[in-house]
Structure 1
Amino acid sequence: MASSTTLKRWLRPEVYPLFAAVGVAVGICGMQLIRNITINPEVRVTKENRAAGVLDDFAEGEKYAEHALRKYVRNRSPEIMPSLNSFFTDPKY
């Protein structure tokens, strides 16, 4: 009986946005965790890599820091909708 009241309480349409927000947050955290474990040059998972100590491989660190998203947004304006913003701010319209 307790499980049916719990389901009635949490599985209502009003709670779906909360589930979506928490799901997106967990997804982003999981993606960052996997990214750090797999390609971060400072994270060493295996025993052999940990025994190597501190490596000064600047090319590998630069490759990790300059990922595709950062390269994509580097020369773009920091606006969400640039065409809409220019429509409302440019006096020529």
Structure 2
Amino acid sequence: MAGYSRWIKPEVYPLLAPVGAVVGLMAMQLVRNVYTNPEVRVTKQNRAAGVLENFEEGERYSQHFVRRFVRGKRPEVMPNINKFFSDPE
């Protein structure tokens, strides 16, 4: 345990959470691209297929859950507070 104090100092602990979150997001995006992106072909059989005109698969990939969830919503962080200050009665 004494060896860790030499490499990881207490001042570094607050940085571990954001760095860990970014690494997790990066890994999630990498896995998403490898497994669901219609333009990424990992296996030899899929690479031999050439250029595919598969628009439905591309639409499913680009219009994922988060994008469908925020579609039609106003781009505000706190809409109730914005409405309170911008629309007086």
1:2-21 equivalence runs, <5 A? 3-7=3-7, 10-12=8-10, 14-21=11-18
Following the alignment from structure 1 to structure 2, what is the Cα–Cα distance between the partners of residues 41 and 4? 44
1:73 to 66, 70, 75: 70
Q: What stretches of structure 1 move > 3 A for 4+ residues in a row?
A: none
Q: 2-side partners of 1:4 and 1:31: how far apart? A: 29
Correspondence 1:57 to 2:58: no
Q: What runs of 5+ residues in structure 2 fail to find an aligned partner? A: none
Structure 1: tracts of 5 or more residues without a match: none
> Matches of 1:30 and 1:4 in 2, distance apart?
26
Q: What's the Cα RMSD here?
A: 1.7
Query: 2-side partners of 1:66 and 1:28: how far apart?
Result: 18
2:3 partner letter:
S
After the TM superposition, which residues 31-50 of structure 1 pair with which residues of structure 2 at under 5 Å, given as runs? 31-50=28-47
Give the fraction of aligned pairs with identical amino acids, expressed as a percent: 56
**TM-score under structure 1 length normalisation:** 0.84
For the structure 1 residues 4 and 58, does the alpha-carbon distance in structure 2 shift closer, same or farther, using more than 3 Å as the test?
closer
